Amino acid sequence: MSEQFTRLNARFPHKRVFITGASSGLGLELAKQLASDGWTLGLFDRDLERLTRVEAQFAEAGVQLVAYPGDVTQADELTVAVNSFAATHDGLDVMINNAGVAGGGSMMEVSLEDWRWIIDINVMGVVHGSRAAIPHLQRNGSGLLINIASAAAFASAPGMISYNATKAAVVSISETLVNELQPVGTQVSVVMPAFFRSSLLETLRGPEHARVLANRATQRSELSVEQAARALLTESADGQTYIVLPKSARMMWRMKRWMPLRFLDRVRDFARRQPAG
């Protein structure tokens, strides 16, 4: 047993996890770390080529897993996959709603089509995953639901309006579920990482200047995808509801809650100082 996940393994000795958006980025790294500790994986992703490659690599390494190609915007596809995994393995311990996409641009730059696209994936994907998993998580009076949001949910930086809004919705959904699921023994954690090096920007829709700024922030980040995965698994196992990464972002989180108008002033001033192009 890895010392890193001692608490998680003690809480869930059957080690059954289902992860959406699992073929790349944070989802794949979560799968790797849990697989290395003997967890049985249910992996869900719409990129069939990547998912097939990941499945083959894990199977070759002797990892117990089932891969499910599908789209989180389609409730039936995700529900069938979660139900199948739980039925095959006599239950589900941890559900990680990780699938998400990036969006950039101001209110007048983001098309209505792109608004619908990002809401369907980032918000409704979490709704669909939660509705599919909750009956299984609460079956034995325990369970852990982890929703991946972003520090964008509280930073509200200009030029990221659609992404900010969807991640704020994930935080609100998670907070509501904390109270709804506490009576049945299911824990809910919401993760709010700052920029880190991952494959998220492959999905970004928006003007070129938004992509340039997002790439710059990602390259400057001191948080790696390995560190993000390890921290969120450890902190959720410790019962944390709000997981803000890295530590330097936690002061931003506190300032937003304690002095919201001053915080928004600082974000605006920071955005103005960013070089163009």
Q: Per the domain annotation, does 176 fall within a domain?
A: yes
The residue type at 241: T
Instruction: Supply the residues annotated as catalytic.
Output: 163
Q: How many CA atoms lie within 13 A of 274 on its CB side?
A: 19
The per-residue pLDDT for 277 is 47
Give the mean model confidence (pLDDT) for residues 35-48: 97
> What's the CA gap between 164 and 192, in Å, rounded?
11
pLDDT at 248: 86
Residue 29 CA to residue 18 CA, distance in Å, equals: 13
Q: 82 in a domain, yes or no?
A: yes
Residue 95: inside a domain, yes or no? yes
Within 10 A of 221 (CB to CB), how many other CB atoms are there? 16
Structural domain including 253 reads 3-272
Q: Comparing C-alpha atoms, which of 101, 79, 191, 77 is closest to residue 144? A: 191
CATH number of 255's domain: 3.40.50.720
For residue 277, being part of any structural domain is answered with no
Q: Are 221 and 251 in contact (CB under 8 A)?
A: no
94 within domain boundaries: yes
Q: What is the mean pLDDT of residues 1-16?
A: 85
Q: In the sheet where 242-245 sits, what is the strand order? A: 65-69, 40-45, 16-20, 94-97, 144-148, 187-193, 242-245
Residue with tokens 């935080």: 171
Tens-place pLDDT, residues 196-239: 876 666 778 877 877 777 767 666 778 899 999 999 999 999 99
Residue 173 CB contacts under 8 Å (≥ 6 apart), including other chains:
123, 126, 127, 130, 147
- Is 32 among the domain residues? yes
Give DSSP secondary structure letters for 153-220.
Answer: HHH--TTBHHHHHHHHHHHHHHHHHHHHHGGGT-EEEEEEE-S-BSSGGGG-BS-HHHHHHHHHHHHH
Structural domain total, the chain: 1
